[in-house]
Amino acid sequence: MSGCTGADRITKEKVQLVTTNYITNILSKYPHYKGKYKITGSYNVGKKQTYGDIDMVVLMDNTMPKNEMKKDFTKWLVKNYDEKTIQRFTSIKHTGKRFYNAGELVSIKYPQNKTTSVQIDNIFSMDENEFNFKTNFLNLPAEIQGLYLGIIKTIMLEVNPKRILNDLCIN
């Protein structure tokens, strides 16, 4: 069982097949999807043979704020797809839900075949810069991601954030 959805693990060989199926049959039909995605994370590092989820950065148009876009996406999923396609979660904490909207992503449980499923994390980006940043950052090893976040957090706690932004010429 995997993540918040309670889905099955997926083998490396099946990731691209299931992703293509999901993009073709679901995501490409969402009106705000801009036709661009990247699988990120441990799948790209190549050391594992199975994964607990598929992490995917997806590019959306910027016609509404991200939090509204994520809500719109979840309403659209539930309205347009039955429970065989966007499946109910089986994890103890989230049993019965059909999506999990948290932070930058929306998690769903999607079929791999007739008997197994996989968690897909749709990581929303609203423009090309955000898409590229998230893709590159999430493709770093977890240890490096943690190191970067720790350094940035320490700097932001130790130095006035207004000064940092000013020094970096960021409004």
Q: Which residues contact 20 (CB under 8 A, 6 or more apart)?
A: none
Over residues 7-59, the pLDDT tens digits come to 999 999 999 999 999 999 999 999 999 999 999 988 887 778 999 999 999 99
Please tell me the predicted confidence (pLDDT) of residue 3.
Answer: 82
DSSP letter for each residue of 80-113: H--TTTSPPP-STTTTT-S-EEETTEEEEEEESS
Query: What local confidence, expressed as pLDDT, does residue 1 receive?
Result: 45
Nearest to 10 by CA among 114, 119, 84, 139: 119
Which two three-digit tokens encode residue 61? 């148009």
pLDDT digits (tens, 9 = 90+) for 93-141: 999 999 999 999 999 999 999 999 999 999 999 999 999 999 999 999 8
pLDDT digits (tens, 9 = 90+) for 60-76: 999 999 999 999 999 99
Is the separation of the CB atoms in 12 and 19 below 8 Å? no
